[in-house]
Chains A and B, each alone.
Chain A
C-alpha cells in the first residue's frame, strides 16, 4: 500500500467518525443531551467522546464500529454514560410485602434509580405460602407474594410510571407480570408508561438456577405469549432478561457464560418466530443479564464479545433489519460467588473492581453486592455501601467520560476475539445437538458447568488460584460481623393474611377465572388476558399455577 493510499484510509476512519457524530450522535443528543457541554479529566485535560485508532486499522469498522451502531462492540448507545448513567438497581426483598416495601423506599431515598424485586422461593416456583411445600421458605430469600393484594402493598407509595422495576421471576413470570399490570391499573398508570423487566428466562432454570415448574415446551409457550402481549400493550417493558449471571454463578467460565446465554436467546427467538411473531416486533424488548467477576480485563472483553456476537446472530441468523433488535442491552450483577465469608471487608474491594469491569464493559444497569452476602442477606448499611461504590465509580472515577475507554487495547481486543470464538463454538455444539431444549435434555449445559465449577474449586484447593483471606493471608480469628436477620413471624403473618383474602373474595368469580386459565392453556390463545383476569379477582399465585400445571404437567430433572 502506498503512502497516499494509507493516508486516504486513515482519513476515511476519521471521516467516518465525523459522520457518526453528525448523524447517530447528533440525533440522540437532540433528544437526550449529554450531561455536560464538555468533559475533562480531573486535572483539566479535555476528554473526547470516543477515541479511535490514529493509524490505519482495516478491521476497525468490521470488528468495532461506532457506539450505537452495528456491531455495537463499543456500546449500544451513541453517547453511553455521557448522556445517561447506568441504572443503579439493587436487588432486594425479604419477608412480607410491607417489609420489602420499606427496604425499597429506603433504596430510592438513598439514590437508587430503579427497583429490583427478589421473591421468595415459593413465589418463584408458584406455591402459595400456606402450601406444605413452602414451609420454612416463606419470605426467606425474597418477598412472599400470594395475591395481587401483596403486590399492591409491595408498591405502596411507589409510582409505577416513575420508577422502573425489575423482577427476578421466571417460571411464574406471567402471573407476577399480571399482578404488576393490575397494580398499575389501580394506581391509574397506563400500561404504555410502565418500564421494567421480568427475568422470564426459564431455560437456565433447568440447568443453573433450579426454579422451574412446568416442562420446557409449555414454558416456552408462556414466554412467547408474554412477548406478544407486551409487544402490543407494554412497549417499553423488557419481556425477558436472558441471564448468564446464574450460569456463571453455577460455575461456568466467561466464554461458557456468553455461549450458553446466547444459545438460550436463540431458542427463545426461534420459539417466538415459530409462534408467528416477526423478529423485529419483539426483539427490541429482549434484554440480558451477566455477572461481573474480579478478572476485570477478561470481563470487559466478555461484555464486548457478547455484544458483537449477538448483533451478528440477529442480523445474519435471524435476518433482523432493525438495529434495536441487534443491540445486546444488559444488566450486570457483581459476582456473588466471588464473595468470601472470611474477612468480609475484603469483599468491598472485590465489588469495586467488579463495578469497574461492568462499567468499562458498557452495562445498562448494575447491582453491586454487599460485603456481607456470603454470610446472610445484607443489612441496610452494607447495601448502602454497595450503592455508594457505584456512585463513586460513576461520579468520581472519570471512566464515564469517554466511551469504551479500553477499546483498542491490544490485550482487550485479542481477548474479545478469543471469547467470541469460544462462545461461537459452544453455540455450534448446541445447534448440532438440536438446540437448547434438546441440549438440556441431554444434560449438556449442566455437565459443562459442573465440570468448570469442579476445576475452579480444585484450583483454589491446590493454591493455583489465590483467594485472599481463604487460601492465602488467612487469619485464624474471625472478626464478629453484625448480620441481617429477617423479622420473625413472616411466614405465619403471610399465611394468616392469605387465609383472610381467601375468605373475603368472590369464590365463584375465582373458580370461573381459573377455569378460563385452564381452558386457554389447553388451546393456543394468548394466556396473558386469562391470567390477568384471574389475578384481578384475587385468585392466588398457587391456584393459577395449579390450573396451568393441570394442563402443562410438572418438570422433574433427570440425571442421565
Chain B
C-alpha cells in the first residue's frame, strides 16, 4: 500500500483504452490495483478517441492518464494524445501506458514524453511504485 491510501483527497487517474482495441483484461486489472492502492480511478470504457480521452482527463482533473494497448496502434494514438495535451496546455497531466509494446517502440514513446511503459509480466508492485514516484517527482518540482 502506498501513502496515498491515507490521503483524504486521493490522486485521480484515468486508466483506459483508446482506439478500437477491445482487450480489457490488463487495463481492468491495473485499474483495480490502483484502486486497491488508494487512487481514485476513472475507467471510461471502450472505443474512446484520443480527443475524448484528453477531454475527459481535463474535465475530471486527473493527474495522469494510463493507457493499455494490445492492438499495435500505440504510436499513432499516443502521438495524437500528446499533441492534444500540448494544444490544450494540459501537459501537466502525465501519461503512462502498458501492453504489448515492442522495445524499439518504448524508446519512441518515451521521446514523445510518455513517462513509463509497462510490458506484460510487470509486477503490480512495480507499476504502483513507479507511477507513485512520478507524482513525488512532480510535487518536488513544484517546491
Contacts and interface: CB of A to CB of B under 8 A. Distances in A.
A559 B22 CA distance: 15
Contacts of B103: 480
Contact of A137 (B20, B43, B121): B20
Contact of B45 (A124, A205, A453, A559): A559
A470 interface: yes
Label chain B's interface by main secondary structure.
loop
Interface in A195-245: 205, 209-211
A133 B23 CA distance: 17
Contacts of A470: 121
A68 interface: no
A133 B76 CA distance: 12
A450 interface: yes
Contacts of B22: 121, 205, 209-211
A210 B46 contact: yes
Given A211-B22, A250-B25, A342-B121, A133 B71 contact: no
Contact of B121 (A135, A251, A340, A454): A340
B25 to A, nearest CB: 5
Contacts of B110: none
Specify which of A209, A457, A486 lies most central, judged by the most chain B CB atoms within 10 Å of its CB: A457
A374 B76 contact: no
B72 A376 contact: yes
Interface in B3-55: 19-25, 28-29, 32-33, 43, 45-47, 49
Give the size range of A's interface with the partner. Answer: 35 or more
Contact of B120 (A124, A340, A450, A454): A340
A515 interface: no
Interface residues of B, number: 32
Interface in B64-93: 71-73, 75-77, 80
Contacts of B102: 375-376, 483, 485
Contacts, number: 89
Given A140-B71, A376-B100, A121 B21 contact: yes
Contacts of A342: 121
A136 B45 contact: no
Nearest to A337: B25
Interface in A325-362: 337, 340-342
B125 interface: yes
A467 interface: yes
B124 interface: yes
Contact of B100 (A374, A458, A461, A469): A374
Interface of A: 121-122, 124-125, 127, 133-137, 140-141, 205, 209-211, 249-251, 337, 340-342, 374-377, 450, 453-454, 457-458, 461, 467, 469-471, 480, 483, 485-486, 557, 559
Interface of B: 19-25, 28-29, 32-33, 43, 45-47, 49, 71-73, 75-77, 80, 100, 102-103, 119-121, 123-125
27 contacts: A121-B22, A127-B20, A133-B47, A135-B76, A136-B73, A136-B76, A136-B77, A137-B20, A137-B73, A141-B21, A205-B22, A209-B22, A210-B22, A210-B47, A211-B20, A211-B22, A250-B25, A337-B25, A374-B100, A374-B120, A374-B121, A376-B72, A457-B33, A461-B125, A470-B121, A483-B102, A559-B43
